[in-house]
Amino acid sequence: MSFLSFLLPALLLGRFSPASAPTQTTPPKPAVIAWSAQRKLTWADFKSKPTPADRLAALTSGNIDVQVGCKDFVFSSQVQAVFMPAESWVREATTASPDLLRHEQLHFDITELYARRMRQKLSQTQFDCQHLQPKFQNLTKAMFAEWQREEARYDQATNHGLNKQQQQLWETQVQQKLAQLEQFALAQ
């Protein structure tokens, strides 16, 4: 079975980098961390370094990896939320607070929430394998835009995690939403 792979542009705490254009020779995929309820992020996962112009205390880069294909005219898909260590950083890991790490973890949890919503949408949508586009592209584009807006709302509402009351509220709400979409979680 052949799959097309779509890696939605990296989400960087409200800043986004465009996916690079494919080249003739594909370099090896950088290591990513798949979202798991059992495995929380640690500061050791943040491998990149901030630039002097970066004003944030930390930056999380996550993606939703969407692979689709058709075999015998039957559509199938795989969707995974991933954390990208080589693009994520913390200014000073030795002094970074546990609260900041919780804030960054919730960015990754929101990525998983939208991966589950993508799985739900894909399972509820009929795709004609001979005419996959633009229906598939429109669905993923809309889902990505929704995810981008949610991440921006999260940072704004919590003031990048500094508003502890809002941070707790978002943590509770995201966990509830993940539980509501449990049937669309990947087997762990």
Q: Please provide the average confidence, as pLDDT, over all residues in the chain.
A: 85
CA nearest neighbour of 100 among 173, 163, 146: 163
pLDDT tens column, 123-169:
998 888 888 888 889 999 999 999 999 999 999 999 999 999 999 99
Q: Considering its fold, how many domains does the chain have in total?
A: 1
Beta bridge partners, 79, equal 66
pLDDT in the model for residue 29: 55
Separation in Å, CA 106 to CA 1, 23, 176: 35, 33, 13
Q: Which domain holds residue 122?
A: 4-184
pLDDT in the model for residue 185: 97
pLDDT in the model for residue 37: 95
User: pLDDT-based confidence at 28, cuts 50/70/90?
Assistant: low
The larger pLDDT score, comparing residue 7 to residue 53, is at 53
Q: Is the pLDDT of residue 14 over 50?
A: no
